[in-house]
Amino acid sequence: MLASLMRTVNCGMIGGGTVGGGVLQALDRNGSLLASRLGARIKIHKVAVRDLNRPRKVEIPKSLLTDNWRAVVEDPKTDIVIELAGGTTTAKTMVLAALRAGKPVITANKALLSAHGQELCAAAAQHNTNLYYEAAVAGGIPVIKALREGFVGNRITHIYGIVNGTCNYILSRMKAEGVNFSDVLAEAQALGYAEAEPSLDVDGYDSQHKVGLLASLAHGFWIGPDAVHVEGIRNVSQLDVQFASALGYTIKLLGIVKKTGAKVQASVYPALIPDSHVLASVSGVFNAVFIRGDIAGDSLFYGQGAGQDATASAVVSDIADAVLDLKSGTPHRIPPFKTHNHKSAVLPVDAAVSKYYLRLSVVDKPGVLAKVAAILAKSRIGISSVIQPEGHEGESVPLILMIHDAKNSAMLNALKAITRLPAIREQPVMFRVENLD
């Protein structure tokens, strides 16, 4: 009896691929549980796709399907719009159209938020509705909620995140199985972790988008993608994975948001992290986000960072929030983003300080190390250890240097001079070392 009096909230979904299919499955499985928790029934009443005839892993009833996304947004019965199409151009038009119609929007599209987030958040406020994006960062981990709500009373000083499931899957398999980068990428794609354009994952842009969002929420001013320094994992070779391991480190694609004086470092790069740190054991598609707040201290969030079910779980959590906000008439209780810091700025990467791992390929003859050391000394850069592993006979041998804290600009200048030495046989390889203190 009570159930039949329950309000039904109609959600119109744009996108019926990996994540869209996952949302349908999750609601199928736990729809009644959600209804009893929310006091409202959630119904996906329309799904827009590009190709009505495409065979789908998760079947969508024909009666729900349309190939016209406007039919979803403009349907007066649609209470909430869920954008799971991806991309930044048409997706922006879709989201703006829904917000302008006063409809709450849920999106998992971090590329879109990164490129146009400020405009979309402003549109949500202007049209007295909301924009929800839990699924945009770290898959099933509720880290957006944690930053905006759980840590609302903290000044956030550090965030270290492994936020791209595809890269973490690739790097973990490289370390565990000795395989090469390109062998594993195709598998990550088949498992539904990778973006339609794999460069977004492996060149670090997906992490850049996510780190920009985390940094903006943590520091209260909008940090767009151009302000987040990015390097991807294409240059991580099996050789470096092995040397790092012998030195007691694991290579991870790491997102860093660090308060440095009055500024904020926001970067993404492959870094050596100590095996003894908990982030080093985050393997496969798992993500983890370490957050340090001045009151809460250190917290670690760990979970599946990509894939159908984990991402669907985050979308469903947003659906629940949107339903509760609709029910209580409080669309702006938690705005998607609020500027509260007008004084800070992003630290230019040149000024960021870290330790380094340097692998040189050198002619094995006396005096080479002295020349390299002299260049570093001239830039006041200290060497903490040197290893020339045995068993690499031939024309050239690897020389590994671990470098003390140095400014990025000083290190790059020294590296240019080292590269010009006649004894250097290949382009040097340099990764930062983060001790995560």
Residues carrying an active site annotation: 210
Query: Does residue 70 contact residue 6 with C-beta atoms inside 8 Å?
Result: no
Say whether residue 318 binds ligand HSE (CB under 6 A): no
In the bound complex, what is the minimum distance in angstroms from residue 228's beta carbon to ligand NAP? 17
Q: What is the C-alpha to C-alpha distance for residues 425 and 45, in angstroms, rounded to an integer?
A: 63
Nearer to ligand NAP by Cβ, of 18 and 265: the residue is 18
Backbone angles phi, psi at 178, to 5 degrees: 70, 20
**Residue among 306 and 429 whose Cβ is closer to ligand NAP:** 306
CB count, 10 Å around CB of 57? 11
- Among 161, 232, 307, 331, the residue binding ligand NAP under the rule CB under 6 A is 307
Question: What is the edge-to-edge ordering of all strands in the sheet holding 7-14?
Answer: 65-66, 40-48, 7-14, 80-83, 105-107, 131-132
> Is 321 an interacting residue with respect to ligand HSE (CB under 6 A)?
no
End-to-end, the C-alpha distance of the chain in Å comes to 57
Per CB under 6 A, the list member of 94, 171, 194, 347 interacting with ligand HSE is 194
Give the per-residue contact string, 275-314, with ligand HSE (x = CB under 6 A; - = no). Answer: ------------------------------xx--------
Q: Determine which residue in the list 16, 20, 165, 204 makes contact with ligand HSE, applying CB under 6 A.
A: 165
Q: Using the rule CB under 6 A, is 38 a contact of ligand HSE? A: no
Q: Which tokens go with 223? A: 């940090």
What values do phi and psi take at 322, rounded to 5? -65, -40
- Applying CB under 6 A, does 114 fall inside the site for ligand HSE? no
Sign of the four-CA dihedral 185, 186, 189, 193 = negative
Rounded to the nearest whole angstrom, what is the least distance from the CB of residue 257 to ligand HSE in the complex?
Answer: 17
Out of 306, 346, 349, 401, name the contact with ligand NAP by CB under 6 A: 306
Task: Give CA–CA dist 41/305, Å, rounded.
Answer: 28
Residues 6+ apart with CB under 8 A from 14: 47, 48, 69, 72, 73, 81, 82, 83, 84, 85, 94
Which among 192-200, 214-222, 402-410, 427-435 is the span making contact with ligand HSE, rule CB under 6 A? 192-200
Contact call for residue 83 and ligand HSE (CB under 6 A): no
CA angle 415, 417, 419 (to 5 degrees): 70
Among 69, 132, 151, 193, binds ligand HSE (CB under 6 A): 193
Name which of 221 and 301 has its Cβ closer to ligand HSE.
301
Among 152, 186, 196, 386, binds ligand NAP (CB under 6 A): 196
Choice from 42, 64, 82, 85 touching ligand NAP (CB under 6 A): 85
> How far, in Å, CA of 168 to CA of 284, rounded?
6
Asked whether position 62 contacts ligand NAP by CB under 6 A, the answer is no
Residues numbered 270 to 289 that lie near ligand NAP (CB under 6 A) are none
Distance in Å, CB of 305 to ligand HSE, minimum: 5
Question: What is the DSSP-derived secondary structure letter of residue 424?
Answer: B
Name the residue nearer to ligand HSE (CB basis): 193 or 356: 193
Amino acid at 354: S
Distance separating alpha carbons of residues 95 and 101, to the nearest angstrom: 10
Please tell me whether residue 232 binds ligand HSE under the rule CB under 6 A.
no
The SS3 call for residue 241 is helix
Q: Is 18 in the site for ligand NAP (CB under 6 A)?
A: yes
The half-sphere exposure of 363 on its side-chain side, counting CA atoms within 13 A, is 11
Segments in 150-237 forming alpha helices (H): 165-177, 181-190, 199-202, 205-219
Q: Which is nearer to ligand NAP, 17 or 331 (CB)?
A: 17
**Residue 103 Cβ, how far from ligand HSE at the closest point, in Å?**
24
- Dihedral Cα 113, 118, 119, 123, nearest 10 deg: 100
- State which of residues 27, 34, 38, 48 lies at the interface with ligand NAP (CB under 6 A): 48
List the structure tokens of 351: 């000024």
Which of 78, 164, 354, 408 binds ligand HSE (CB under 6 A)? It is: 164
Instruction: Report the number of secondary-structure helices (H) and strands (E) in the chain.
Output: 14, 17
Four-residue CA torsion sign, 431, 435, 436, 437? negative
Which of 79, 83, 134, 201 touches ligand HSE by CB under 6 A?
201
Name the 3-class secondary structure at 86.
coil
109 scored as a contact of ligand NAP (CB under 6 A): yes
Residue 134 CB, nearest approach to ligand HSE (Å) = 11
Number of residues that bind ligand NAP (CB under 6 A): 28
Encoded tokens for 271? 């870094």
If contact means CB under 5 to 8 A according to the sort of partner, which of ligand NAP, ligand HSE, none does residue 164 touch?
ligand HSE
Q: Which residue ranges make up the site for ligand NAP (CB under 6 A)?
A: 14-20, 48-51, 54, 69, 84-86, 90, 108-109, 135, 139, 192-193, 195-196, 306-307, 311
